[in-house]
Amino acid sequence: MLDKMALLKINDFWNWLELIATIVGMIFVILEVKQKMGMWCANMLSSSMIVAISCHQMLWGTMALNIYYVVMSFVGIYQLNKDKSQTSSDIVVRPITKKVVLTSIIVFLFSSIVLVFLLKLLNDPQPILDALVMPASFIATYWLTKSYIQHWYIWIVADALMTVLFMLQGSYSVAFMYSFFLGASIVGLIHWHQKKTIIA
């Protein structure tokens, strides 16, 4: 009886953590659409919780990706402060170069292939999805710190894949969060196109 009660408390903890991560994650994406500085603080908090959830579920690719999100949040704070100092516009956008796109495609393909094999060795329950989402999200986050409007296209694909991944794992709160991200990414893309000011 005591063992069952202890198990229920542990399960409740992970369920509550997923719910809180979902709420904070939604706050992040709303702030991201508006390109507000607070998005990076929300990103740090939500990503830290998803690190713990992913570790618990042995989703090693997702765990590593969210550690990266935490680190890149500091970069994002610095870069957005710098960009916003150049204009009073709500949304600042940098033009993306062909070199950045080509390099990103190469990184994505190479990383995905390597990660499939690595994650299978680590007994990741969803190695292919995890291997696709990790480099795509890695690139999208980097593009976001650079204020490339094209980062939204990557998020649309990555969020759709993450929704499927967490549904397969039974983490429906987190899956709902990523489906919300998917919708917000579409809104964000439209909003940035309408409100953007291009900077060098």
Q: Where are the domains of the chain?
A: 2-198
SS3 assignment for 4-62: HHHHHHHHHHHHHHHHHHHHHHHHHHHHHHCCCCHHHHHHHHHHHHHHHHHHHHCCHHH
| Res 183: pLDDT | 94
Percent of the chain with pLDDT strictly greater than 90: 46
| Res 148: pLDDT | 94
| Res 9: pLDDT | 54
CA 189 – CA 175 distance, rounded (Å): 21
- As a whole number, mean pLDDT of residues 153-159 equals 95
Residue 166 has pLDDT above 80, yes or no: yes
Q: For the segment 78-119, what is each residue's pLDDT rounded down to a tens digit?
A: 988 888 787 777 788 999 999 999 999 999 999 999 999 998
Tell me the pLDDT band of 4, cut-offs 50, 70 and 90.
very low
| Res 11: pLDDT | 61
How high does pLDDT run on average in the chain?
87
